[in-house]
């Protein structure tokens, strides 16, 4: 059983590709039905492995069978643990191109994981603030793709921690994105001075991926699960 400390965020990162193992018989009928709707085998496998991992991990944190867990959604769509009632755990799940990441804490959090890939021309101008665009443009061309995804994952983690979905205007707050700058929320233009109350952590899940974890709280530490912890739950750690 995994203990979730009061001032820590536990992070699990595991494979969800077509060949990845995951515990069987722990998905609800609704989750199995959603997985079955995917046409491509890779998408079916990713959905099943991500949600089986979610149940296995939360069940382990609470010391109960995974099928006893029930989930609900906040008004803006963020999932939460509805049963067992009073468990006191917050979680956030993200996945991208064969990997999943799950953060669990005793306070609201946001997690984002992205595989590095070509970025559509002009996309940064639609989602980044003027400050972020200036910082991105100052990077050498060879570092701009990674810089974009450092910024993107930090922004997504912040928005997910807020729980406000697409209502948060992405170009009205700024995060750091240079490789030599610590991960942080730099400003929020609709809440002056509030950025200092937030903490963001950079994550390197595997080669070719970046990630971020965010919380409206200071002083927490990030603790990532070791490969043997994943193996105990029937999950596989990323290669390398």
pLDDT tens digit string along 211-240? Answer: 999 999 999 999 999 999 999 999 999 986
Q: How confident is the model at residue 166 (pLDDT cuts 50, 70, 90)?
A: low
Residues 5 and 54 in one domain: yes
**89 and 173, same domain (yes or no):** no
Q: In this structure, is residue 90 part of a structural domain?
A: yes
Spatial CA neighbour of 145 closest among 111, 121, 175: 121
Tens of pLDDT, residues 17-50 = 999 999 999 999 999 999 999 999 999 999 999 9
| Structural domain span for residue 140 | 116-216
130 with 98, same domain?
no
Question: Domain with 83 in it: what CATH number?
Answer: 3.90.470.20
Which helix (H) or strand (E) element contains residue 82?
strand 79-83
Number of domains in the chain: 2
Q: What is the pTM of this model?
A: 0.96
pLDDT at position 75 is 82
Average pLDDT in the 156-177 region?
88
- SS3 percent helix, strand, coil of the chain, rounded to 5, is 35, 25, 40
User: 8 Cβ partners below 8 Å, 6+ apart?
Assistant: 105, 220, 221, 222, 223
Q: Give the pLDDT confidence of 50-88 residue by residue, as tens digits.
A: 999 999 999 999 999 999 999 998 887 789 999 898 789
Residues 194 and 228 in one domain: no
Distance (Å, whole) CA 187 – CA 196? 8
Residues 6 or more apart in contact with residue 215 via CB below 8 angstroms: 9, 105, 107, 108, 109, 110, 161, 198, 199
Same domain as 122, residue 98:
no
| Closest residue by Cα to residue 149 from 94, 208, 99 | 208
Do 212 and 225 lie in one domain? The reply is no
Q: What is the dihedral of CA 72, 106, 164, 203, to 10 degrees?
A: -110
């Amino acid at each position: 059983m995994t203990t979730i400390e009061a001032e820590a965020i536990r992070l699990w990162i595991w494979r969800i590709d077509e060949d990845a193992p995951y515990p069987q018989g722990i998905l609800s009928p609704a989750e199995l039905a959603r997985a079955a709707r995917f046409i491509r085998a890779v998408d079916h496998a990713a959905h099943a492995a991500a949600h089986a991992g979610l149940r296995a991990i939360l069940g382990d944190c609470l010391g109960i069978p995974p099928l006893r867990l029930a989930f609900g959604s906040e008004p803006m769509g963020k999932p939460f643990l509805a049963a067992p009632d009073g468990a006191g755990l917050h979680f956030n799940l993200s996945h991208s191109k064969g990997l999943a990441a799950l953060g669990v804490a005793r306070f609201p959090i946001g997690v984002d994981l992205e595989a590095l890939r070509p970025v559509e021309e002009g996309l940064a101008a639609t989602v980044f603030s003027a400050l972020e665009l200036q910082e991105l443009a100052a990077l050498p061309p060879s570092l701009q793709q990674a810089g974009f995804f450092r910024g993107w994952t930090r922004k997504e983690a912040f928005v997910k921690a807020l729980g406000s979905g697409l209502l948060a205007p992405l170009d009205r707050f700024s995060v750091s994105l240079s490789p030599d700058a610590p991960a942080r929320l730099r400003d929020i233009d609709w809440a002056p001075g509030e950025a200092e109350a937030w903490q963001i952590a950079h994550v390197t899940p595997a080669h070719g991926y970046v990630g971020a974890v965010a919380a409206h709280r200071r002083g927490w530490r990030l603790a990532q699960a070791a490969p043997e912890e994943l193996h105990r739950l029937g999950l596989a750690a990323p290669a390398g």
